[in-house]
Amino acid sequence: MARPKIDPAKRRTESVRVSLSPVELAQLNAKAERGETTVTAFVRASALGKSVTVQQSTAPDFATRDDLRRIGVNLNQIAKAMNAQKTVAPAELLAVCAKLDHLFDQWLNHDPKSRQIRP
């Protein structure tokens, strides 16, 4: 199957030559890399006043993950005690729920939505 034809008005047939110092080129390469794009696409976006979106990692940090694991273990112990008809102090249950709320807030806010890099 053939590639769809590009509208001639949108076809990129023109080019511009730009001279940069080695330091400027390194900065440009670094910004393009952070934007996970090519230098050409980054320069084009910059020249046209567009911003480049950087997707940050959505993985939470290991400390938060470890804290959540520990709290999960505590919740499991509380559930087992309740199922075995043992008494569980309401204050203990509320404390665990408060910790969970706090950690979930941290987890969800760990990776704010994509931020914009200014060209």
Positions of the chain with pLDDT under 70: 54-61, 88, 108-119
Residues 56, 43: Cα–Cα separation, whole Å: 21
Q: H or E stretch including 117?
A: strand 115-117
At 113 the pLDDT is: 44
Tell me the domain boundaries of the chain: 22-54, 62-111
At 57 the pLDDT is: 59
At 37 the pLDDT is: 87
The alpha-helical segments, DSSP class H, found in 10-60 are: 22-34, 39-47
Q: How far is CA 57 from CA 85, 88, 91, 119, in A?
A: 43, 39, 36, 21
